[in-house]
Structure 1
Amino acid sequence: MTSIKLSCVIVDDEPMALNLVESYVEKTPFLELKKKCSSAIEALDFLNTETVDLLFLDIQMPDLTGLEFSKMLPKNTRVIFTTAFDQYAIEGFKVDALDYLLKPFDYAEFLIAANKARRWYELLKGHTSKTSTVLPEEKEFLFVKSEYKQLRIKLSDVLYFEGLKDYIKIWLRGNPKAILSLMSLKSLEEELPKSDFMRVHRSFIVSLKNIEVVERSQILINNQRITVSEQYKSKFLEFINQNSL
């Protein structure tokens, strides 16, 4: 099966930023640049006649901000925000952005965000990219943003993920303090191998390999009790039955 190709548009009112992102797109094989726009109004006019997979979208622009514009997009057009102002991060994730790049960012950071978009569309369209070195069921680690750094998280060390509105807490074996990252639990769930992790509550995704005790509707992991909510109970019980003597 051929590798997925994502059509994209860059929107930024700063010419230098526009050209930089264009150079990043051009060196990324699975991205296809359809247009670069200096305003959200120009991009909106283009998208009235063209369908695009992905927008690299600046937030602070005159007339129509990137946040306002993102709310007008079709549901299958996803957004990666680019901005110099970190106070917009929470708002960005409230509109379900795929990622958030804080200027100035380098190509490595750009590529991490672009790969996240590619994986999302592969899952959506049922593609398996030959160029992808790590498939969802084979993942051993993830890079997550925390305090302006990209931290490499080994999935075998994860006990559970806890959702807190627009943030998640990542609890690791042997680490008494959680890692805090600006991300939605829903977007994280799409990235995790289904054989190793399961959503058991609107606020929790647990590592199935690290469950110590199941008691009634509660899971015990590292002395933390996590309730399995009704919405996820049948799927969790199926997992228990499949692995019981």
Structure 2
Amino acid sequence: MNNIKITCIVVDDEPMALNLVESYVEKTPFLELKKKCSSAIEAMEFIKKEPVDLLFLDIQMPDLTGIEFSRMLPKETRVIFTTAFDQYALEGFKVEALDYLLKPFDYAEFLAAANKANIWFELLNGKEQKTQNMVSEEKEFLFVKSEYKQLRIKLADVLYFEGLKDYIKIWLKDNQKPILTLMSLKSLEAELPEHQFMRVHRSFIVALDNIDVIERSQIIINKQRITVSEQYKPKFLAFVNNNSL
């Protein structure tokens, strides 16, 4: 874990909710509260003068909703939504919120969401250094056992790896059938260059360069839809944000 604090503001038009989230932020060691605001307009004016890393943002507010405000934020600023209405969860995901807290929530729920933000910023801060370190050690191929043979797999040709208990399916460009090999996804993950491949689900590792479309919580590679599970979402969102215009 790093020692860098995540700067944040709390935005809510309900004074009790505003004070509660403020108290949660203040007892979370890696968060630094810069301001609490009773409207999105007030928060917008503050961010113009002093950008922050993270917003704890209510959705249903007068004049400008949290969803509308989140679309105006710089891409470096992340959001955790707080709301009493669960119908906004899908909208929250569309604007790439790190998490969604449904009122009333306790400190344990708040901390779980804050920890997602902490992981996201750690990954973002460490990505550049990791990438530099990986370049000199980049692998171009792997040998895998399949049908009593050692097959040379060119990593640039891999679309994704699919785990099936003790086996892995290796899906390649221009191959209609996958290569089967006896191996665990966990052991394979340790051998792959981190800047080329990412675990996005218990059963899938994807080739980042071969992603065609990202749609809500799914990745599309060669017409195959792969769900990004909650466990791996912060890391994947950090990758998307770092490569977005």
Distance in 1 of aligned mates of 2:166 and 2:35: 47
Quote how far apart the aligned CAs of 1:126 are.
1.2
The answer as to 2:15 corresponding to 1:15 is yes
TM-score (norm 2): 0.56
Deviations along 1:183-202, one digit per CA (max 9) or x if unpaired, are: xxxxxxxxxxxxxxxx956x
Counterpart CA distance in 1 for 2:170 and 2:87 is 41
Secondary structure at the counterpart of residue 49 of structure 2: coil
Deviation at 1:211, TM superposition (A): 3.2
TM-score (norm 1): 0.56
Please state how far the C-alpha of 1:220 moved relative to its aligned partner: 7.0
Long gaps (5+) in structure 1? 128-198, 234-245
For 1:126, what is the secondary structure of its paired residue? helix
Within a 5 Å distance, the mapping from 1:1-245 to structure 2 comes to: 3-126=3-126, 200=159, 206-207=162-163, 210-214=166-170, 216=175, 217-218=177-178, 231=210
**Separation of aligned partners in 2, 1:21 and 1:35:** 12
**Alpha-carbon distance between aligned partners in 2 of 1:41 and 1:22, rounded to the nearest angstrom:** 19
Distance 1:213 1:36 in 2: 50
RMSD across aligned positions (CA): 3.1
Q: What is the CA distance between 1:207 and its match in structure 2?
A: 4.3
Instruction: State the number of aligned residues.
Output: 155
Q: Distance in 1 between matches of 2:25 and 2:71?
A: 24
Distance 1:64 1:219 in 2: 52
C-alpha contact 2:163 2:169 (8 A) present in aligned 1: no
CA contact 2:162–2:169 (8 Å) conserved in 1: no
8 Å contact 1:200–1:206 — kept in the other structure? no
How far did 1:3 drift? 1.1
Q: Which runs of 4+ in 1 moved over 4 A?
A: 205-210, 212-217
- The C-alpha deviation readout for 1:165-190, integer Å capped at 9, x for no partner, is xxxxxxxxxxxxxxxxxxxxxxxxxx
Deviations 1:110-148 (A, max 9, x none): 001001001100011118xxxxxxxxxxxxxxxxxxxxx
Gaps of 5+ in 2: 128-157, 182-203, 212-220, 222-245
- Please tell me whether Structure 1 or Structure 2 has the larger radius of gyration of its CA atoms: 2
